[in-house]
Homo-oligomer: A and B are copies of this chain.
Amino acid sequence: MGHSVPDRVENEELDVPSLRSSHGQMENLQSVHKVGFPPQRNFFREFKDTLKETLFADDPLRRYKDQPRSRKLILGLQFLFPILEWGRDYNFSKLKGDLIAGLTIASLCIPQDIAYAKLANMDPQYGLYCSFVPPLIYAVMGSSRDIAIGPVAVVSLLLGTLIQNEVDPVTEKAEYIRLAFTATFFAGITQAALGFLRLGFLIEFLSHAAIVGFMGGAAITIALQQLKGFLGIRNFTKNSDIISVMKSVRSSAHHGWNWQTILIGSTFLAFLLFAKYIGKKKKSLFWVPAIAPLISVILSTLFVDITHAENHGVQIVRHIDKGINPSSVNKIHFTGSYAAKGFRIGLVAAMVALTEAVAIGRTFAAMKEYQLDGNKEMVALGTMNVIGSMTSCYVATGSFSRSAVNYMAGCQTAVSNMIMSAVVLLTLELITPLFKYTPNAILASIIISAVIGLIDYEAAYLIWKVDKLDFVACMGAFFGVVFVSVEIGLLVAVSISLAKILLQVTRPRTALLGNLPSTMIYRNIEQYPEATKVPGVLIVRVDSAIYFTNSNYVKERILRWLGDEEEQLKAKQLPRIEFLIVEMSPVTDIDTSGIHAFEELHKSLQKRSIQLVLANPGPVVIDKLRLAEFTELIGHDKIFLTVGEAVMTCAQMAREDA
């Protein structure tokens, strides 16, 4: 130990009654307590526990314990197909709620589906296909009661952009559609695999701030793209960034705009926005914005049909295939370079789709107070997309707008999705030909009014208020999407999210602690200006686990606190520091690099005749310090249960010293 501290028996832990009186202002005397060593655990136990906490945090097998085999089978089936569970309690009053909700979301989804398919560069019927098969599968396997399944704007745009980079949607239409199904297939496989391997927590690496920015940017990008349909422009850029789009719009200003189109589009956009406003103003009128799109479609279609506006340059849908989803198993590339491309695109689409679906599921589960198993949801969503890819659907997921309508319309279970699906079936079988005269402008209006809701400026403002770095991430994602492309925006969002994590891990906070007057409590002197430093003792708290990423920083930061303090003391001619107490309460873990850093710290301090003292190391930390024999290096009597006790003892030692 160097230095002149009275020799103690090294292994004896401190329980010395004579240390009871010390440290000026202290009123509350306490005996000194031992730091507890946790019970030894062997490697496999430890490994298993870590693995379990990481992958099975929600303990999904708990309910199978102590059950007979037949019961286990039933529980297992119910786990895979929650419909078997809630289906038994299904009754008429629930059906009433689901029926109303199902019809409402159906009326909303039909025009949206047709419009979103265009975002994905596909024919309108493909959008409707996605609202027929996937909701049925989800209703059987999913456990959210409120989510409305189908194609969504952001995923449609993402798929459209990514596939378009590989295959031209106009000249190589058949190949384009094959690649879309391939991507959908692999997206489903990815989602199911993530859920099955219980890696669902991976989607949490996309931070809330990044998602807000990404969604907002995507909404603006999508809205801008609608200028094509809205203004009736024929030659439009394929790029999605704001600069290319604006150039396209300007260059077509003289000859490309069509006033009839603009008239129809803006009239109905005004109508849609007004309906939205009414729905927001009065919650009980939620159905007004929900059916407004369908009404717009019907009215505008009638209008075009009667006036034959299509002969005056108003672009119309022209053709939708009749009939339900054809099989597309033979269109999926399972091998070859297209399979690889499909896999890459599918992976990206899968993550975005999952993020959206899980966020929706969680939000409504929290509102209605039921538990949602994220991993199980992923298996359901994945299976749904795999089957979807074989029945001519592209990636479907939960839609923000339709789920909200579903919730407000009083849905009770996933039956509302089945009702919607049935309505879509009828639409496909009977009335698709009627959409022939639907003007593209109306679809553009519907998309614009739908994606406006994705711009969550309130959330952005809250992020700005609470965490400026998060706001930078949010804006990075936003501008990445708006000025470059959806992929770049996504990349920016992911990178900033990861960089933020890594940064936090590399530069943990440290704080100087002081004594709150007339207590044994020691707190950050920046937060509690009334806290006073203890003469001769420097107390530093390290606010993070100490790992290889930060061990050097932590060591050097502690030495810097010490250096600064010593400089000040010297200037004021106060007594020098004799003890450095490191408050370890927030240090939840340490690795070999961390221990190494502490050894170096100890060595540095020894040379300056300062003693290193630890307060309240946690179970994992004290165990590792002991294994690495660091506790013996500094002496067991230098490890205390609380900062208060450490200070008390140090003050005592200093007095004995003097």
- Look across to chain B and name the residue whose beta carbon is closest to the beta carbon of A624: B466
- Alpha-carbon gap, A591 to B592, bound state (A): 30
Given contacts A36-B523, A59-B560, A465-B628, contact A503 B592 (CB under 8 A): no
Binding-face segment, A74-82, A313-321, A545-553: A545-553
CB of A53 closer than 8 Å to a CB of B: yes
Binding-face segment, A121-129, A147-155, A217-225, A595-603: A595-603
- Look across to chain B and name the residue whose beta carbon is closest to the beta carbon of A471: B43
Given contacts A462-B628, A553-B201, contact A526 B38 (CB under 8 A): yes
- Look across to chain B and name the residue whose beta carbon is closest to the beta carbon of A209: B592
Let me know if B466 and A548 touch, CB within 8 A. no
Let me know if B204 and A466 touch, CB within 8 A. no
- Look across to chain B and name the residue whose beta carbon is closest to the beta carbon of A593: B208
- Alpha-carbon gap, A621 to B526, bound state (A): 13
Closest approach, in angstroms, between the C-beta of A360 and any C-beta of chain B? 14
Given contacts A519-B33, A586-B586, A591-B470, contact A619 B526 (CB under 8 A): yes
Q: Which of A533-560 contact B (CB under 8 A)?
A: 543-545, 547-550, 552-553, 556-557, 560
Let me know if A501 and B628 touch, CB within 8 A. no
CB neighbours (8 Å) of A549 from chain B are 204-205, 207, 501
Binding-face segment, A169-177, A406-414, A478-486, A506-514: A506-514
Q: Which of A51-106 contact B (CB under 8 A)?
A: 53-54, 57-59
Given contacts A28-B28, A604-B369, contact A466 B595 (CB under 8 A): yes
CB neighbours (8 Å) of A468 from chain B are 43, 46-47
CB neighbours (8 Å) of A553 from chain B are 57, 201, 204
CB of A1 closer than 8 Å to a CB of B: no
CB of A502 closer than 8 Å to a CB of B: yes
- Alpha-carbon gap, A302 to B445, bound state (A): 90
Let me know if B208 and A30 touch, CB within 8 A. no
- Alpha-carbon gap, A251 to B438, bound state (A): 75
Closest approach, in angstroms, between the C-beta of A547 and any C-beta of chain B? 7
Q: Mark A368-412, 1 if CB is under 8 A from B, else 0.
A: 010000100000000000000000000000000000000000000
CB neighbours (8 Å) of A47 from chain B are 468-469
- Alpha-carbon gap, A529 to B553, bound state (A): 34
CB neighbours (8 Å) of A586 from chain B are 543, 585-586, 588
CB of A13 closer than 8 Å to a CB of B: no
- Look across to chain B and name the residue whose beta carbon is closest to the beta carbon of A211: B548
Closest approach, in angstroms, between the C-beta of A201 and any C-beta of chain B? 5
User: Which of B46, B369, B467 is the one whose CB lies under 8 Å from A592?
Assistant: B467
Closest approach, in angstroms, between the C-beta of A216 and any C-beta of chain B? 15
CB neighbours (8 Å) of A369 from chain B are 604, 607
CB of A190 closer than 8 Å to a CB of B: no
User: Which of B603, B619, B628 is the one whose CB lies under 8 Å from A366?
Assistant: B603
Let me know if A521 and B204 touch, CB within 8 A. no
User: Which of B30, B501, B511, B556 is the one whose CB lies under 8 Å from A28?
Assistant: B30
CB neighbours (8 Å) of A642 from chain B are 521
User: Which of B37, B521, B607 is the one whose CB lies under 8 Å from A641?
Assistant: B521
CB of A627 closer than 8 Å to a CB of B: yes
Let me know if B627 and A465 touch, CB within 8 A. yes
Interface centre among A206, A469, A500, A528 (most CB of B within 10 A): A528
- Alpha-carbon gap, A251 to B173, bound state (A): 55
Q: Which of A568-620 contact B (CB under 8 A)?
A: 585-586, 588-589, 591-593, 595-596, 600, 603-604, 607, 616, 618-620
Interface centre among A205, A523, A526, A603 (most CB of B within 10 A): A523
CB of A301 closer than 8 Å to a CB of B: no
CB of A449 closer than 8 Å to a CB of B: no
CB of A504 closer than 8 Å to a CB of B: yes
Let me know if B524 and A618 touch, CB within 8 A. yes
CB neighbours (8 Å) of A38 from chain B are 526-527
Interface centre among A30, A550, A603, A620 (most CB of B within 10 A): A30
User: Which of B57, B500, B528, B560 is the one whose CB lies under 8 Å from A557?
Assistant: B57
Given contacts A527-B36, A627-B466, contact A504 B208 (CB under 8 A): no
Let me know if A204 and B552 touch, CB within 8 A. yes
CB of A416 closer than 8 Å to a CB of B: no
CB of A423 closer than 8 Å to a CB of B: no
10 CB < 8 A contacts A-B: A28-B520, A47-B468, A50-B469, A207-B593, A467-B624, A501-B502, A501-B549, A509-B588, A524-B619, A544-B545
Known: A46-B468, A57-B507. 7 other contacts (CB 8 A): A36-B527, A54-B503, A204-B552, A205-B506, A207-B593, A523-B641, A527-B619
